[in-house]
Structure 1
Amino acid sequence: MDWGRFAQDMAAMARELLAQESVDSTLGRITGSAVELVEGCDASGILVLHDSTVQSLAPSEQLVIDSDALQARLNEGPCFDAARTRGGERVFRIHDLTEFQPRWPSFVPQAQKLGIGSMMGFLLYTEEEELGALNFYSRRSGAFTQASELAGWLLASHAAVAFSSARSHAQLENAIATRHVIGEAMGILMGSHHLTEDQAFDVLRRYSQENNVKLREVARQICERGGLE
């Protein structure tokens, strides 16, 4: 591997990640960079676990989706393990899926049928949170070397920071938007029913609880309709 060229490409990728405008575009650039920059990588994706539910984020091709779905169905697999690790292994590299893998006896033979020859993955984490696993796939056995693993580690480190930052930014934007729409709805109720600010918010809260509708959705309906029906 030409490490000088790789360092330049990694720096360019890091700048591009900072320039992305959404979580989805950030994740898409991460998995796209995996295929472009990591030697041996044919496909890439990010697997996230929500309790026992598997979510495939920014898969570069159908192979990733099929692998994630297989691991979810079997409740077994290397990407699955990497995504749910807690203080344990943060990387895996399977040199050859034609060899017996005692940790994943059900997954490996079915992964072979999907056309996967070798795999590698890294836990995406920051000091504050664990975000899922960045996974690399090759259709060839023995595609991932020590150099591939080092390159993957570097990419995963940049990816974790970018992913966390993009998600925090999206959450902040969502919170600001929610406050704005709730404030607008309260203003409508205060003007149409001669309520105080506290009384208007109490109306919103009670309607939300009694109808099992999120507060933001109640506020949005009021803004659209000019009041509660």
Structure 2
Amino acid sequence: MPEGAELDERLARLAGSLEAEPDPGAVLDEIVAAAVDLVPGAEEASISLVVARRLVTSPHRTGELPGRVDAIQTQTGEGPVLDAAYDEQTVRVPDVRDERRWPEFARRAYDAGAGSMLSFQLYVQGDSVAALNLYNRRAGGFGEESEEVGLAFARHAAQALVGAHERGDLPLAVASRDLIGQAEGVLMERFRIDGDGAFRVLAQASRSTDRRLRDVAQELVSTGRLAVPPEA
């Protein structure tokens, strides 16, 4: 559980980034990384974009699980991200395995590794819709405090997305995710770790050096150097 001062400080830094950062993708990646650090129960996080109430993608995510779950929602046409994006502001799934609202999605998402989920609506503007999603691999991973802290992150993510949409910078946001994906690939090959582990290494380097996640990724892709070595 994050201490109040720690949460306030982290959110204040994110708010400052929203004002100064020309690349919205870097801000959104910082938000999902911080959500995993500070939202109780969050093991993975993503910002999903939904088009035409059907196609769900996660250009900003902390690992592979959110991408797998989004693919299932696209294939089945149902799930918490679609409900949060269009119909409700917050959707909590206490136990994916026993979820009855979306039976086909629930069965396949559980098989993919999701135990519980929490989704927050970010914005709705025509067919451009987005949601912040949190994942735990066990049932019962999220409580009332998870919703409270998650909403704080959702407000900052919504600011970044709306600003990016108004400036026409959403392609730049996706490009930032692609750069981080390249850096993850370098780490996966170098240290024989999976995508989740590679993102955690990048996030650790970002926190340890007080640098943007995108800058750490850029340095790794360009020079092969990582700001700090991964934890043993």
Fold match by TM threshold 0.5: yes
Residue 122 (structure 1) aligned to one of 120, 123, 130: 120
> 3-state SS of the aligned residue for 1:123?
strand
Q: Structure 1 residues 69 and 129 mapped into 2: Cα distance closer, same or farther (>3 Å)?
A: closer
Q: Following the alignment from structure 1 to structure 2, what is the Cα–Cα distance between the partners of residues 102 and 140?
A: 17
Give the alignment of 1:167-178 within 5 angstroms: 167-170=165-168
- Percent identity (aligned): 34
CA contact (8 A) 1:97 1:112 kept: yes
The Cα of 1:128 is off from its aligned counterpart by: 10
Query: Deviations for 1:139-166, whole angstroms, at most 9, x for unmatched residues?
Result: 1221111111000011101110122113
Q: Match for 1:43: what amino acid?
A: E
Aligned residues: 169
The Cα of 1:127 is off from its aligned counterpart by: 9.7
Q: Match for 1:122: what amino acid?
A: F
Structure number with greater CO (CA < 8 Å, separation at least 6) is 2
The Cα of 1:110 is off from its aligned counterpart by: 1.3
CA contact (8 A) 2:90 2:120 kept: yes
Query: Deviations for 1:186-219, whole angstroms, at most 9, x for unmatched residues?
Result: xxxxxxxxxxxxxxxxxxxxxxxxxxxxxxxxxx
Q: Match for 1:18: what amino acid?
A: E
Per the alignment, residue 18 of structure 1 pairs with 19
Per the alignment, residue 93 of structure 1 pairs with 92
- Structure 1 vs Structure 2 CA RMSD: 2.4
Q: Does 1:136 align with 2:134?
A: yes
- Residue range with higher mean Cα deviation, 15-24 or 146-155: 15-24
Question: Where in structure 1 are there 5+ consecutive unaligned residues?
Answer: 175-229
Per the alignment, residue 29 of structure 2 pairs with 28
> 3-state SS of the aligned residue for 2:61?
coil
Q: Following the alignment from structure 2 to structure 1, what is the Cα–Cα distance between the partners of residues 158 and 25?
A: 14
Q: Structure 1 residues 115 and 126 mapped into 2: Cα distance closer, same or farther (>3 Å)?
A: closer
The Cα of 1:3 is off from its aligned counterpart by: 2.0
Q: Following the alignment from structure 1 to structure 2, what is the Cα–Cα distance between the partners of residues 66 and 127?
A: 25
Q: Does 1:112 align with 2:106?
A: no
Q: Match for 1:79: what amino acid?
A: V
Q: Following the alignment from structure 2 to structure 1, what is the Cα–Cα distance between the partners of residues 67 and 114?
A: 12
**TM superposition outliers: structure 1 runs of 4+ over 3 Å:** 126-131
